[in-house]
Amino acid sequence: MRSSTVLTALLPTSIPSPDQGVWFVGPVPIRAYALCIVAGVVVCLWLSERRWQQRGGQPGLVYDVAVWAIPFGLVGARLYHVVSTPDAYFGADGSLINVLYVWRGGLGIWGAVLLGGVGAWIGTRRAGVRLPVFADAVAPGIVLAQAIGRWGNWFNQELFGQPTDLPWALSIDPALRPAGFEEFSTFHPTFLYECLWNIGVAVLVIGVDRWLRLGHGRAFALYVALYTLGRGWIEMLRIDDAEMIGPLRLNVWTSIIVFVLAVAYMVVSARLRPGRESSVWLAEREPADAASAESPAADPPADGSSSDRSANHRRARR
Report the alpha-carbon angle 126-72-34, nearest 5: 130
Distance of CA 210 to the CA centre of its chain: 20
DSSP state of 238: B
Torsion of CA 163, 168, 172, 178, to 10 degrees: -20
Q: Do residues 273 and 215 lie in contact, with contact meaning Cβ atoms separated by under 8 Å?
A: yes
Give the span between the Cα atoms of 48 and 42, in whole angstroms.
10
- For the chain, report the end-to-end CA distance as a whole number of angstroms: 85
Q: Identify the pLDDT of residue 241.
A: 82
CB-count exposure of residue 72 (10 Å: 0-12, 13-18, 19+): buried
DSSP state of 85: S
For the chain, count helices (H), then strands (E).
12, 6
Q: Identify the pLDDT of residue 12.
A: 61
Extract the runs of DSSP E, i.e. beta strands, from 150-264.
Answer: 170-171, 186-187, 244-245, 248-249
Q: For the chain, 318 residues long, give each residue's pLDDT as a single digit of tens.
A: 454 444 344 456 789 999 999 999 999 999 999 999 999 999 999 999 999 999 999 999 999 999 999 999 999 988 888 877 776 777 666 667 777 777 666 778 888 989 999 999 999 999 999 999 999 999 999 999 999 999 999 999 999 999 999 999 999 999 999 999 999 999 999 999 999 999 999 999 999 999 999 999 999 999 999 999 999 999 999 998 888 899 999 889 999 999 999 999 999 999 999 999 999 999 877 776 655 444 444 454 444 444 444 444 444 333
- In angstroms, the Cα distances linking 103 to 15, 72, 127, 239, 265 are 23, 17, 33, 21, 35
Give the span between the Cα atoms of 294 and 285, in whole angstroms.
15
Give the span between the Cα atoms of 281 and 65, in whole angstroms.
14
pTM: 0.84
